[in-house]
Amino acid sequence: MDDDLDQVLTGVGPRLRALRRQRDTTLADLSAATGISVSTLSRLESGARRPNLELLLPLAKAHGVTLDELVGAPPTGDPRIHLRPVIRHGMTMVPLTRRAGGIQAYKLVIPAGGRRREPDPQTHEGYEWLYVLNGRLRLVLGEQDLVLSPGEAAEFDTRVPHWFGGAADTEPVEFLSLFGTQGERAHLRARPRTKQPPGRPDQLES
């Protein structure tokens, strides 16, 4: 699996360079259109910089192609079905499942400096599991205010008021979300954002 991923990512650089040259676009023009620095674009095209979703989304938009086309992903299932990113409340949501009902999986990206408004916890039916890939995710859950770092996860009943956003202005946050109306609990923990008073548990535990 890792070899397949590395092979896909290795092919992104040459594909980016080919798309830019097909459109007679300079690195400076592409930088102005995407907000990505010329040096980062150059490193992406040469393979010196590993691509991530935060970089690929604006590049796909600028080149007028889908993410699948940009990374050269092989076709899967019905070719008429395309999982397209959706921007909602300042976050980019990429659906990872296509079937209706059951567990739904998403990859979410909060851009640097995005979603920094005051928390507005919401409730709804279901159960959610989060896993942080990059950046630091702030999770407000009931009366608890937590920060999850890469490799940390949390799970909770969505009937408990909850909200999440970036914990820092300087870096984007990428995380996975599994949501379903029912399902087994993962029994994972998340570190709290602030030190808890003596006598209170120092971890959120299912």
> Which pLDDT tens digit goes with each residue over 94-130?
888 766 556 788 888 888 766 556 788 988 888 899 9
Q: Using alpha carbons, select from 84, 193, 200, 88 the residue that is nearest to residue 141.
A: 193
Q: What is the pLDDT of residue 185?
A: 46
Q: Could you give all domains of the chain from N- to C-terminal order, each with its CATH number? A: 1-71 (1.10.260.40), 86-189 (2.60.120.10)
Question: Nearest 5°: phi and psi at 14?
Answer: -60, -35
Among residues of the chain, what percentage have pLDDT more than 70? 71
**E strands, the chain, in order:** 86-88, 91-95, 104-110, 127-134, 137-141, 144-148, 153-157, 162-166, 173-180, 189-190, 204-205
Of the given ranges (90-99, 137-146, 193-202), which has the lowest mean pLDDT? Answer: 193-202
Q: Quote the pLDDT of residue 79.
A: 52
Residue closest to 41 by CA, chosen among 24, 60, 17, 69? 17
Q: What is the pLDDT confidence band of residue 73, given thresholds at 50, 70 and 90? A: low
State mean pLDDT over 1-23.
72
pLDDT of residue 161: 93
